[in-house]
Amino acid sequence: MYWNDYFWFLGAIAICMIFSIYASTKVNSAFRKYNHVANRSGMTGYDTAVRLMQSNDVQGISIGRVQGQLSDHYHPAKKIVNLSESTYGSNSVAAVAVAAHEMGHVMQKKDGYLFYRLRTALVPVVNFGSRLAMPLVLIGLLIDLFASTANPDVGFYIALVGVVLYGASFLFALITLPVELNASKRAKKMLVAEGILTKDELSGASEVLSAAALTYLASLLTSLVYFLRFLVYVLTIFGRRNNRR
């Protein structure tokens, strides 16, 4: 039974890896394609971020520049939108799409978007859970093995708490997907509304942003597989212990 489950896990992970490679290839291909297409407004990624902040009355947010390609991100705690080298000074369709996507996150925070608030609230839980999940499972096993005077279910319940904490990572990935999709939806709307892209240029921006969404879907599927594997492992171990009693 154990080996059968393990082979299913390896097969699922292999599928997730293939999909992740496909998603990464897709987003890089789309970005390269439209990174060579200048937008008609002539605005750069930096210009786009500034324009969208001004038009949406966003204050107290600075714009930074970071190394790399597609390393763009919004850091709400530091109140900064970091644009990568490939986005900051480029006037390509891809660059303004990526910059507008990050501004979409800024607008989510400003508007109090539910899924964005949930994801932010989960960050400390995920960090806490990732450190304690496995230790709790091990403590549960030790109690189950050696604490003969304890309630026979105590060890199992402690281990189950570890599984729940581990599951926070999957929940985080699950909530991240609608957050990213909504940021892209906001980005496309703002780009046209502010005249940064024309409607016919928007198809290129949509291709870049849709490809990027695939990477989050791949992350979600991988997180689900690992969570299910962890859950099945704990249930199997304690199931065997109970059968031997």
The set of catalytic residues is 102
3-state per-residue secondary structure call for the chain = CHHHHHHHHHHHHHHHHHHHHHHHHHHHHHHHHHHCCECCCCCCHHHHHHHHHHHCCCCCCEEEEECCCCCCEEECCCCEEEEEHHHHCCCEHHHHHHHHHHHHHHHHHHHCCHHHHHHHHHHHHHHHHHHHHHHHHHHHHHHHHHCCCCCCCHHHHHHHHHHHHHHHHHHHHHHHHHHHHHHHHHHHHHHHHCCCCCCCCHHHHHHHHHHHHHHHHHHHHHHHHHHHHHHHHHHHHHHHHHHHC
